[in-house]
Amino acid sequence: MRRAAGWTLGVLMLGQALALPVPALAEAAEAETAASSADHGAAAAPGAAEGEAPATGAAHGQAAATGAALATAPFDPSWKTSRTPMPFDVMRSVQFLQDQVARGNDRAIRVQALLLRRFGPTFLEADPVVWKDPRNVRAVILFTLSGGSSEVIDRLAGESLLDETQTALVQGASAYVRNDLETAAKRLLEVDLASLEPVLAAQLSLVLGQILQIDHPADALPHLDRARLLAPGTLIEEAALRLEATLVEAQGERTFADRLARQYFDRYADSSYAGNFEARFAAIYVGRAKTDPGAAMAAMADVLAGLPDPRQARLFLSASRRSLVEGNLKFANDAAQKGLSLEGVAEADRVRGRLYEVASRLGTTDPAGARSELEAIDAAQLHPEDAKLLDAAFGVLDSIDAHPLVAAADPVAAPSTPEAPSVLSRAEQALAQASQDLIASKP
């Protein structure tokens, strides 16, 4: 069965007909029936020797004869032996690919795009009778929301190929892909999601959550909850978790945000979109650290505890860098040290971790010692943006050397001298300014 399913998927991707060769099936049935008869006969022999009823073998023989007769019955040429893929067939393949994306198969993203482009024109040319099947109507909505052309549902609406009960659904989906979010929300909120097939209801719930999170984030949460509950283990749940964790954090529900983040890493740590969530994840805990760095560090460590050490280290270092850029040097230092303390950390991550750790204490450590530590860092192993950060750190040290905070003859007047601002403040400003390009490039 698994081999047959894989064959069907391959055929759909190639856009060929789904062939059902009846003569071949007849031969296979006859062979399978004969083999079954032989197997049962062999199995029945020991039973007969032990005194079991011999009628069992006769029954199998009669069944075998009936199967053979059916398999060799005359074939009516009017019977169809193949059909082109229906929209619901195509969407099954698309959903399979989406699930592969959620499991980290990056190639599935490209194959899905090819599949959507391949079958868009086919759906436009489909016989109107195709759309009498509700499975195909559901499929074309999912097709459109998955990135397919909106021309198909626009045609269905324009040519009155749907009944009135489907109008709000079709118009809402069409408005969403045209980025008319106000109309999309209005029409989709009219749809009774409880009456829909679960996967379609989950997809529409995700869409409503994505729309409402812009201006009404609290209203988006029930829709995202429904999306997760209706489509567990799918790309729909993966996307809902990514978005909802950020929204509930903004609502002040930190325990709930921690739970959602933990669920994401437990289920979708290998997702092709995990990098997007990791950026959001770092932003959550860096934001918390502004008011309570100790609690933020403890919560972050708890959420990440189930991941391999190298993966944990990468996330701690991402939080360190983001915190460094935003000027929270204490949390930047704590996160860098936590990341560096883990086992199996890649050398490139160790190099950037040392950079973040040293840069985060430039205003509070001996400048000469800090310069020696920075000079020991292999700049060739740094990302270009981190190389800029290394240059900025040297710039801070140069500034400190040019304006040392030494005690003046009048120790009371010295701190008020405008040429001698706080070293710590200069460090924060210089490092933040050097990293503006990185902030702009973050998702």
Q: Name residues whose C-beta falls within 8 Å of residue 76's C-beta, 6 or more positions apart in sequence.
A: none
pLDDT band at 15 (very low <50, low <70, confident <90, very high): very low
Domain spans in the chain, listed from the N-terminal domain onward: 272-403
The least confident of 26-35, 51-60, 180-189, 323-332 is: 26-35
Higher pLDDT, residue 51 or 301: 301
Spatial separation of the C-alpha atoms in residues 153 and 97, rounded to whole Å: 22
Are the CB atoms for 63 and 77 separated by under 8 Å?
Answer: no
The answer to whether 285 and 299 have CB atoms below 8 angstroms apart is yes
Distance CA 80, CA 60 (A): 32
* Partners of 83 in the β-ladder: 18
- DSSP assignment of 114-156 equals HHHHHHHHHHHTS-GGGGGSHHHHHHHHHHHHTT--THHHHHH
In CATH, the architecture of 272-403 is Alpha Horseshoe (1.25)
Extract the tokens encoding 45.
């022999």
Averaged pLDDT, 310-324: 96
Q: Which helix (H) or strand (E) holds 107?
A: helix 107-124
- How deeply is 321 buried, as exposed, middle or buried, from its count of CB atoms within 10 A (0-12, 13-18, 19+)? buried
Give the pLDDT confidence score for residue 73 in this predicted structure. Answer: 60
pLDDT tier at 159, thresholds 50, 70, 90? confident
pTM for the whole thing? 0.74
Residue 60, CB-side half-sphere exposure with 13 Å CA sphere: 17
Asked if residue 443 has pLDDT above 50, the reply is no
Q: Are 238 and 271 in contact (CB under 8 A)?
A: yes
